[in-house]
Amino acid sequence: MTGSLLTGAGGAYIGMNAVYKEKLESMASSDKESEALSKAEVAYDLIVNNYVEKVDKEKLEEGAIKGMLSTLDDPYSVYMDKETAKQFDQALDPSFEGIGAEVSTEDGKIVIVSPIKDSPAEKAGLKPNDEIIKVDGESVKGQDLYEVIKKIRGEKGSKVKLEIARTGLDNPLTISVVRDEVPQITVYSSMKKEGGENIGYLQITSFSEETATEFKKALKSLEKKGISGLILDVRGNPGGLLTSVNSILEEFVTSDKPYVQIANREGKKEQFFSSLTKQKEYPVVVLVDKGSASASEILAGGLKEGADYTLIGEKTFGKGTVQQAVPMDDGSKIKLTLAKWLTPDGNWIHKKGIKPNLEVEQSALYQTHPLQIEETLVQEMNSEQVKYAQEILTSLGYTTDRKDGYFSSQTQTAVKAFQNQHDLKATGTIDATTANKMQEAVRDAMKKEENDIQLQTALHYIVR
């Protein structure tokens, strides 16, 4: 993986030009022939040879590197030890074991950028922008991003308990996730019917080495069948290879404008153009949300400003920097921010995100929170868990007279109705079995296209 730049929210590879490569190789090599010792070298020599106790040289070196990187005040510039670097590379394999969520840092907090489609994280109820407070009961405050990631990842079948803070909730949630194999399938294709028209649909879950190839194959297949429009869905897509997203953009943006620009520290810009002379004959719509980050934003920005295509959904994550993972001799790596990426019109979206042309929020169904049943919820009880249960029942179409956390008789009736329809004993109380079934019902409902307001808006927009 030597010689690759990174643009994912938590770190995903993109291509690098020769100038950057030469510069980084020079930076990575140690200057042993220097005659004058720097302050850092003097300090290192002083500690190693004179400190009252014997020190671990490797730990001292790693501490120095981390200290230098911390002064940059950049959450994306980090040091990875050998073990972390290995896990980092494994995350780019066709499949890996873990919870399946992109994790990053934002304003000193460890946050979920997006759970991967059909991953353990998504099934457990983790959402974009969830802040991780604890991992298995241990606070992550002040810890390095990759130290936290190491604790979260693990073997298939093992369990990790995450305590998270979620916007809009007074108290943290504790979510247990059973680790599993997470396949890296990145392109999902289907044909939608709307108003008698065939609408192509391509969902891109991340931008890996094979994504562009998969995408072009799927697009060609849809076009052969005949489509009146195309929906590109990058909701929940945390980013990936720039070479991959570039190749996709070249299918849609003409040579009249750059589809992305890369700016170095001096402000010098490298513009990327396609050779396309004519746009698609059918309309194209892009679905985005707050989990669309980095390379997804490059796609969204390129299509919005470079091709005047319409974005539908929610404002994107907002990551506009480019990193390089530089390997050290011992297998460790330094991931360093080298450049900014800009939209075709030269806008830097970092910490701002991209605003869609049509802002559309999902229904309450998509805003529900996972239940944590430590004791059975019964009538007359008043708690936050009861409130979450009421929100779930209401979003599924069951009538409750309150949503304030008081377990009323009408709530009990709604619980019984749910239990009857899902082959459960109609007790009117919510134990762990009923809670799991409620959350399963929410996941199933979210997969139904008629409940996806953003998708429905896109379909109606194309055939309007």
Strands (E), 75-221: 78-80, 95-98, 101-106, 109-115, 131-135, 138-139, 159-165, 173-178, 180-183, 187-194, 197-204
Active-site pick, 184, 323, 390, 439: 323
Strands 95-98 and 101-106, bridge-based pairing: unpaired
Residues 6+ apart with CB under 8 A from 315: 288, 290, 353, 354, 355, 356, 359
Strands 187-194 and 95-98, bridge-based pairing: unpaired
Q: How far from chain centre, in Å, is Cα 364?
A: 21
Active-site pick, 294, 296, 395, 454: 294
Q: Is 123 a catalytic residue?
A: no
Q: What is the rounded distance in angstroms from the CA atom of residue 100 to the CA atom of residue 114?
A: 9
Q: Sign (positive/negative) of CA torsion 376, 365, 203, 322? A: negative
**Is residue 140 left, alpha or beta, with left meaning phi > 0 and alpha meaning psi from -120 to 50?**
alpha
Q: Count the alpha carbons within 13 Å of 323 in the hemisphere toward its beta carbon.
A: 26
43-47 long-range contacts, CB within 8 A, separation 24+: none
Burial of 326 per CB tally in 10 Å (0-12, 13-18, 19+): middle
DSSP at 205: -
At 250 the three-state DSSP class reads coil
Q: Is 319 a catalytic residue?
A: yes
Active-site pick, 117, 192, 319, 335: 319
Contact 300, 354 (CB under 8 A): yes
Give the DSSP H/E element, type plus range, for residue 231: strand 229-233
At 202 the three-state DSSP class reads strand
Indicate which residues carry an active-site annotation: 294, 319, 323
